[in-house]
Amino acid sequence: MIDTKKLNTTADAMRSRVSIRRYTDAPVPQEDVLEAIELAGNAPSAFNLQPWRFHVVRDSETKSRLQAAAMNQAQVGAAPVLLVLTSDMEDVMANLEDVLHPGLPEEKRVGTKGYLESMFGGLTVQQRAEWGRNQTNIALGYLLVALESMGYGSSPMLGFDADAVRAVLGLPQHVEIVALVSIGHPAEEGFPKHRHPVETILRAA
């Protein structure tokens, strides 16, 4: 259940979120996972192609195989829920008709479809996968903030062998593994937050 005492504003959640790698035994209901996925799916993407896909792993055996594929990082096996965030641009291209905004007028729809087929048709599968990864990272940011606002701790991870993760989940080669995200109720504070001040990251326009 969502801890309503921890519900906070988007700004609060962005400021308070840190990586949490240890979790209590408290369950993470599927409805909360689906809500977090729905919130993450609100992310914008170029041409609104929404290439992100979310794989929810709860099974202990699968989590321990994924832990082995992820540099044996303990949070993978320890979390009640592990999300594997992927991008599937081949699925997007095969279903463009359904992917495009239903409100597009017919002429614009045909034009956009033709443009995208020509543009992405000129790329390799690997280049399309890279493009999809960039879009999916936007959804990753949304997901992490959403989980924080719901009172969950999470740990995003890039430390994994993508081929090994695909093998565990039975995913085809073209599916890009964007991140693993372990999720649970926090059993630690996490490292103290360190972020550069605005004057460090600001550049003159």
Is 81:33 a contact under the CB 8 Å cutoff?
yes
Cα–Cα distance, 64 to 101 (Å, whole number):
39
Start-to-end CA span in the chain (Å)? 45
190 touching ligand FMN, by CB under 6 A: yes
Residue carrying structure tokens 């320890």: 78
Which residues, other chains included, contact 7 with Cβ-Cβ below 8 Å and sequence gap of 6+? Answer: 149, 150, 151
118-157 mask for ligand FMN (x: CB under 6 A)?
-------------------------------------xxx
Residue number, nearest CB to ligand FMN: 159
Q: How far is the CB of 84 from ligand FMN (least distance, A)?
A: 13
Nearer to ligand FMN, 100 or 154 (CB): 154
Which are the contacts of 198, defined by CB distance < 8 A and separation ≥ 6?
none
19 touches ligand FMN by CB under 6 A: yes
CA 152 centroid distance within chain: 15
Choice between 101 and 193, CB closer to ligand FMN:
193
> Is residue 85 near ligand FMN by the rule CB under 6 A?
no
Quote the DSSP letter at residue 79: S
Find the farthest-apart pair of alpha carbons in the chain and give their distance in angstroms, rounded: 55
- Confirm or reject binding of residue 158 to ligand FMN (CB under 6 A): yes
Spatial neighbors of 111 by CB under 8 A, at least 6 apart, are none
Q: Does 191 bind ligand FMN (CB under 6 A)?
A: yes
Is there binding between residue 159 and ligand FMN (CB under 6 A)? yes
Stretch that binds ligand FMN, among 32-40, 92-100, 121-129, 187-195 (CB under 6 A): 187-195
Q: Which residue has the tokens 């996490």?
A: 190
Query: 73 vs 135, which CB is nearer to ligand FMN?
Result: 73
Q: How many residues bind ligand FMN (CB under 6 A)?
A: 12
Q: How many residues does the chain have?
A: 205
Nearer to ligand FMN, 72 or 173 (CB): 72
CB of 169 to ligand FMN, least distance (A): 17
DSSP code of residue 4: G
Site for ligand FMN in 31-70 (CB under 6 A): none
Specify whether the CB–CB gap between 155 and 19 falls below 8 A: yes
Binding site for ligand FMN (CB under 6 A): 18-19, 73, 155-159, 179, 190-191, 193
